[in-house]
Structure 1
Amino acid sequence: MPLTLTLEPAVTPALRDGLLDLWTDVSNAGGAVGYVPPVTREEIRPALVQHFAAMADGRVKLLAGHDEEGRVAATAFLTFNTHHLMTHWLWLYTVMVHPRHQGKGWGRDLLRTAADTARAMDGIEAIRLTCRGGLGLERFYEACGYKEVGRVPGAIRVAPGDDREDVIMLLPLV
């Protein structure tokens, strides 16, 4: 059961709806992608619209994965820095694999393809991402070659009295 990854797919209603479904399902399964369950598609829609606007401006590239049935099953958004002193690295945001496909190696495939994509871009020397502490996500990213380079205590408030660390990870590409 392969994952088919596409860089900068055409933004169609089917892709939009698939991304909304993926983001909702991942969030409601406890995934740390900007929301805390329960969440609806309508709550996520404004964030997706922001991603689409940044894509239209050329500030973001979408890497989308589809499963064997053609459903959106994985995503990562590669986001360029706008500060002139930081254009040699980019951010990786909203990294998701649908819960029904986790454990198949698709997350590693997604990150490997994101790194290969970034390596092919002129002047990009590293990828940074952040992840929510307390879930063990940093172990997954470390297994994919990322190194923890910092933590911001209490930066993410998932609920009153439940603050988490923002873990900063870096993947050197050169």
Structure 2
Amino acid sequence: MPLTFTLDPAITPELRDGILDLWTDVTNAGGAVGFVPPVTRDEIRPGLVRQFASMVEERSRLLVGHDEEGRVAATAFLTSNGHPLMTHWIWLYTVMVHPRHQGKGHGRDLLAAAERAARTLDGVEAIRLACRGGLGLERFYASCGYKEVGRVPGAIRVAPGDDRDDVIMLLPLT
């Protein structure tokens, strides 16, 4: 079943809890979304609060995918670049699909929905994201049209002795 995507949904306690559950489950399944497993919802919560604050300040927009049961199944944050010389592109952060929905094409659907949303934003000519190397994520993003435009070797320390590349990907919209 396809996911239903909504840009800028109302932030309700149910949505907040659904995103916390998603972020926790994705991290604990090995997803590269800013944390290293094991994590709890309480460890994730400050990151989500920061994202919500960015939305209140109108620097970020939330894209949510719900499954057929109405559960939060996917998210991405489209975040403007605060640098005055770089307002022509946006960041895509916290790109997640719940493990129970992975392998069904929902990641591609999420990225397509993010691209559609970005195309509605005035002056936005590209989407930029960063991903953790060593997991094959750059191959997935490349298969969705993103191009690797930079790499910082060993920039992400997952654990002592386990450094990963920070891979920067870009999707031109023009």
Question: Where in structure 1 are there 5+ consecutive unaligned residues?
Answer: none
Deviation at 1:24, TM superposition (A): 0.1
Rounded to whole Å, the distance in 2 between the matches of 1:16 and 1:23 is 11
Q: CA RMSD in A?
A: 0.4
Question: Where in structure 2 are there 5+ consecutive unaligned residues?
Answer: none
Rounded to whole Å, the distance in 1 between the matches of 2:168 and 2:2 is 30
Give the match for residue 87 of structure 2: 87
Whether 2:159 is the aligned partner of 1:153: answer no
Rounded to whole Å, the distance in 1 between the matches of 2:86 and 2:160 is 34
Rounded to whole Å, the distance in 2 between the matches of 1:89 and 1:149 is 14
TM-score under structure 1 normalisation?
0.99
For residues 13-48 of structure 1, what are the alpha-carbon distances to aligned partners after superposition, in whole Å with 9 as ceiling and x for unaligned?
000000000000000000000011100000000000
Deviation at 1:138, TM superposition (A): 0.3
Q: 1:114-133 maps to which residues of 2 (within 5 A)?
A: 114-133=114-133
Give the match for residue 9 of structure 1: 9
SS where residue 115 of structure 1 aligns?
A: helix
Number of residues of Structure 1 aligned to a counterpart in Structure 2: 174
Whether 2:41 is the aligned partner of 1:41: answer yes
Deviation at 1:2, TM superposition (A): 1.8
SS where residue 36 of structure 1 aligns?
A: coil
Runs of 4+ in 1 over 4 A off after TM superposition: none
Rounded to whole Å, the distance in 1 between the matches of 2:2 and 2:144 is 19
Rounded to whole Å, the distance in 2 between the matches of 1:37 and 1:114 is 26
